[in-house]
Amino acid sequence: MSKRFYLTTAIDYVNGEPHLGHAYEKVITDIIARTHLSLGQDVFYLTGLDEHGQKVQSAAKADGKDPQLYCDEFAAIWETFAGRLNLTNSDFVRTSSQRHKAFVQAVLQNLHDNGHFYQAEYRGFYSARQESFLTEKDRREDGTFDPIYGDVNELVEHNYYFKLGQHQQWLIDHIEANPSFIQPETRRNEVLGFLKNNTLEDLCITRPKERLEWGIQLPFDERYVTYVWFDALSNYASIPAALGDAAVAGPIGLDSKPAAPELWPADIHVIGKDILKFHAVYWPIMLKAMKLPLPGQVLVHGWWQKDGQKMSKTTGNVVDPVGVIEEWGVDAFRYYVVRELDIGPDGNWTDESFEARYSAELANGLGNLVNRSLSMLNRYRGGMLETTSDELAEDAEKWITKARRNYESHQIQAALISIWRLVDRANQYVEQTAPFKLAKQEDQSDRLNEVLYNLIECCRILAVLIWPVIPDTAEKIFEQVNFDGSPADFELAKWGGLAEGHTCNKATPLFPRKDLEKK
Ligand code: MSP
């Protein structure tokens, strides 16, 4: 066996329903996973839930539920959601599961035994109502705290700290020597700037149980639970360890399993810009202390707004991904988020731009091409390809090569732009060759056969090219073209796959025209 391409999303807090931001991150990760599958690699895609900590404990309390029950109920919703997005995830991690907890406790014991922790006193201003320590920034000009914090008292707490500071220069050197470790470039510069201009403080990795109960207990001091970020980041390694991957189990002193998938180190952690410091500073240092190799890349995406404003449940300014999927189909949703927004910058969802792309690029672009090509083949030739031809082969090969390069470098938006150049070329070819006119001219019968072949072969190739992004549509095209096998193999994107004498099925619309439906 060989190492699988292993990629992850952030794990979501289970204190609410999934929204556009969560959906976006899972979709881009899925497209990267499917790209590698299509290119012939074994892939392991991990996503899941971050269930411990103050946020979840408070949300469960507000709901009058035991935290475990509260998490179990939400977990079912989130797992269903992964299915709605058509994700190829190989596993689904929940941090309240025994397999995850066992790993975190083994790591804590290991780091404790190796002198990475120390105990110290923390003195600060604590708001019982907010259940958190306040900082100087929370103070008003007159030195008092806002009444929203309720009673604020100075509190002294004993906690365990993880020695981060001593690894600062090592981390700077690693980031400088590995330009692709944090991508895009702007995020890499942000981390380097932070590390070079600040002294890293040690990380408090515990919470006394009297303040927070909902967490993983320290194996060497039962008065404490583990800080939620230490717990959550560990998920990326806890699942490989639980599956028995020797590369991670070995160094922590856990048992490996003979037929376990080889996963660690992760190839890519996909995350949003707000949690960069945790993934690009704390996590690498945790791994170094665990004596585990670092992941290949932290890939950082931007944040979505709706109509130019922050999405917020209280104002109702949100995009409900499930609603969009129910109305427009999962492929329309997947397509829009990655065609509209490149991985990196922030994006803005508007219903107008969603509908415009649906109509121009999906319904009138790809959908119309497939529909009219197959309809003409059925009408004029009873569905049969009577010849082969390579008139559009050169154009197709050009866009296949570009799309492949874009996919390989995870530039999904650029890949789609290349692929739609081929959609446009083929639609233009219909206008130029006018098969509906050729069909009326008896002496143009051979020419019509050629034109039809070029069109249907383009549709078949397009199915392979779009599979990572809109897999359902790709599969429908293969069915309609009646091509055996699955479009999940990039090798099939080669001109000439359809043979003379091949018979296609009838066309059914891929993207129903909503404007017509409503009339
Ligand atoms: N639980 C932590 C992550 C722990 S990872 C070891 C967390 N959870 S979260 O639910 O708040 O966010 C999960 C992911 O969704 C993050 O990567 C975050 O950046 C992303 N997004 C949340 N809102 C978003 C948008 N509005 N737009 C795009 N992504 C957003 O943080």
Q: Which SS3 state, helix, strand or coil, does residue 230 take?
A: helix
At 293, phi and psi to the nearest 5?
A: -65, 155
- Rounded Cα distance between 397 and 403, Å, is 10
Tell me how far apart the alpha carbons of residues 144 and 436 are, in angstroms, rounded to a whole number.
Answer: 79
- Ligand 1 centroid to Cα of residue 291, in Å, is 28
Collapsing DSSP to helix, strand or coil, 122 comes out as: strand
Task: Supply the pLDDT for residue 128.
Answer: 77
Tokens of 139: 């103070």
In angstroms, the CA 299 to CA 182 distance is 6
Q: What whole-number distance in Å separates Cα of residue 358 and Cα of residue 349?
A: 13
Angle, helices 471-481 vs 368-381, to 10°: value is: 10
* Minimum CA distance residue for ligand 1 atom 10: 12
Question: If you search the block for the tokens 């190799």, which residue do you land on?
Answer: 293
pLDDT of residue 519: 46
Taking alpha carbons only, the member of 273, 258, 233 closest to residue 100 is: 233
Residue of 9, 55, 77, 274 with the most ligand 1 atoms within 8 Å of its CB, for mutation: 274
Helix (H, G, I), strand (E, B) or coil at 8: strand
Give me the DSSP letters along 102-120.
HHHHHHHHHHHHTT-EEEE
3-state secondary structure 45-78: EEEEEECCCHHHHHHHHHCCCCHHHHHHHHHHHH
Task: Quote the pLDDT of residue 513.
Answer: 82
Burial class (CB in 10 A: 0-12, 13-18, 19+), 172: middle
- What is the full per-residue pLDDT of the chain (519 aa) written as tens digits? 799 999 999 999 998 889 999 999 999 999 999 999 999 999 999 999 999 998 899 999 999 999 999 999 999 999 999 999 999 999 999 999 999 999 999 999 999 999 999 999 988 898 877 777 888 888 888 989 988 888 898 989 999 999 999 999 999 999 999 999 999 999 999 999 999 999 999 999 999 999 899 999 999 999 999 999 999 999 999 999 999 999 999 999 999 999 999 999 999 999 999 999 999 999 999 999 999 999 999 999 999 999 999 998 888 899 999 999 999 999 999 999 999 999 999 999 999 999 999 999 999 999 999 999 999 999 999 999 999 999 999 999 999 999 999 999 999 999 999 999 999 999 999 999 999 999 999 999 999 999 999 999 999 999 999 999 999 999 999 999 999 999 999 999 999 999 999 999 999 999 998 765 654
The position carrying tokens 């976006």 is: 24
* Joined tokens for residue 398: 């050009």
Q: Is the CB of 274 under 6 A from ligand 1?
A: yes
CA atoms within 13 A on the CB side of 186: 8
Distances (CA, A) of 428 to 304, 424, 445, 460, 489: 34, 6, 20, 17, 27
Structure tokens at 245: 């991957």
Q: Do 332 and 362 form a contact (C-beta atoms < 8 A)?
A: yes
Q: Relative to the CA of 347, which ligand 1 atom is closest?
A: 27
Q: Is 458 in the pocket of ligand 1 (CB under 6 A)?
A: no
User: Phi and psi dihedrals of 466, rounded to 5?
Assistant: -90, -10
Q: Nearest-CA neighbor of 396 among 335, 475, 328, 453? A: 453
With a 6 A CB cut-off, is 247 part of the ligand 1 pocket?
no
pLDDT score of 515 = 62
* Distance between CA atoms of residues 109 and 330, nearest Å: 44
